[in-house]
Amino acid sequence: MSNSSSPQHRESFLPFSPPNITDKEIEEVIDTLQSSWITTGPKTREFERVFADYIGTSEALALNSCTAGLHIALAALGIGPGDEVITTPMTFCSSVNVIEHVGAKPVLVDIDPETLTIDPALVEQAITPRTCVILPVHYAGHPAELDPLIDLAARHSLYLIEDAAHALPAAYRGRRIGSIGHFTAFSFYATKNLTTAEGGMLTGSHPAFDMARVLSLHGMSRDAWNRYSAEGSWYYEVIAPGFKYNMTDIQAALGVAQLSRLGKMQARRLEIVEKYHAEFSKIDALQVPVVQPHVEHAWHLYVLRLNLDALLINRAQFIEELTARNIGSSVHFIPVHLHPYYRDKYGWKPDNFPVTYHEYQRVVSLPLNSVMTDEDVTDVIEAVKDIVITHRR
C-alpha cells in the first residue's frame, strides 16, 4: 500500500523490542566467564535468591524458559492423561503446548474484552469433574482477575498455575505476581522487561515445588553444582524421568544485573506508555490499553486496538504502513484455536471464542522498551497518527 502521503519517515528501522544491555551486564558475564563455573552454579543460586526476595516468595527456580516452568509445574503436580486444564486462547502456543506435553486436555475459554485476560465467569462454566488446573495468562503485563480464580480453585480443589511471561513486575491487589498462585512461570526471553537472552523462572509455595526442582535437571537427586563442587559428592540418584531445563550461570549473570536495574528500566517504560496514552486516547479510530485500579501493569506490551469501522484498512495493512515508515510492530497473538494442530485436533472454529477472535483482528503491539529515545517515541506516535489520518473512513 502506498505511503506517499506521509510527509516524513525515519531513516532507520525502529526495532520492536531490543534488549537493554549495559556495562553492568557485561561485567557480570565476564566475571562468570573468568570464574570456574559457567553452567548451573553459584550465580544461578544468587539469581534465584534475589528474584525470590524481589517477588516476595519462598521458592524460585531458574530455568531455560517460561515454557519449561509451566511444563514442570504440571508434571510436578502429576497432571496427565484424563485431566483437563482450563486456559485462554489469547496466548502464545507454549501455554497450551505444555498441556499437550503432559497428556492432559486443554479447555479454552474466552477472554474479558477490556483486559484481554481469561474471563473468570467462563472458567466457572467450564469446570468439570476432570478439571485439575486453571492456567491464567497475564496478557501484555496486565494481571488476570485472580480473586475469583483463587476462589474457584479453592472451592473445586484445583491448582492455579499462572503464566507470567509478560508479568514482571506486575502486581495484583498489592501482591507481586509470582507470590499468589501455586506455581507461577516467568519469561526472560530477549524481548522481555528483564532478559537473560533465553531463560525463565518458576516461583511458588506448593509442596510439589521440590519435585519441580528435581524434574528441572534430569530427575536427579542432586544437581550438577552439588556433584562437581568442592562440597559435593559424585553420587546421585535419578528419582523421576526429568528434563534438561536448567539455567546457566552465564544467563543468571545477566539476570542478576538486569534485576538490579529493573526499577529504572520500568520507569522508562511507564514514561513511554504515558506519552502513547496522551496522544492515542484522543483518536477515535484507536483504543488504548486498559489499566484497572487494583493492579500494577508490567507494560511488557503496548497493545493498541484499531477501531476498524473508522478505517479504510485492516490490521495487516496497518502494520504494512508502519513498516513502510520504518516502525517495527507485532501481533500478540494468533489465538491458539486458529493454529492447525489445535484447530484440527479439537475441531475449534474461529467463532468458538468470539471475543478473542474479534480482538485478535484489531490488535497491534507498538514498540515499547526501555532503550527507546524520546525521538523514537515521537516517531511512533507521528507514524500512527499519519496512518489514521491517511486511511480514515
Distance separating alpha carbons of residues 96 and 82, to the nearest angstrom: 16
The active-site residue, picked from 192, 244, 264, 385, is 192
Phi, psi of 363 (to 5 degrees): -90, 140
- Using the 8-state DSSP alphabet, how is residue 64 labeled? S
Eight-class DSSP state of 335? -
Which conformational region is residue 178 in: left (phi greater than 0), alpha (psi within -120 to 50 degrees), or beta?
left
**Catalytic (active site) residue 275:** no
**In Å, what is the CA distance from 245 to each residue of 29, 114, 213, 216?**
20, 35, 10, 5
Cell 553459584 -> residue: 42
Is the Cα dihedral 189, 193, 194, 200 positive or negative? negative
The 3-class secondary structure across 175-243, one letter per residue, is EECCCCCCEEEEECCCCCCCCCCCCEEEEECCCCHHHHHHHCECCECCCHHHHHCCCCCCCCCECCCCC
Q: Is 28 helix (H, G, I), strand (E, B) or coil?
A: helix
Terminal C-alpha separation, the chain: 16
Q: Which residues are identified as catalytic? A: 192
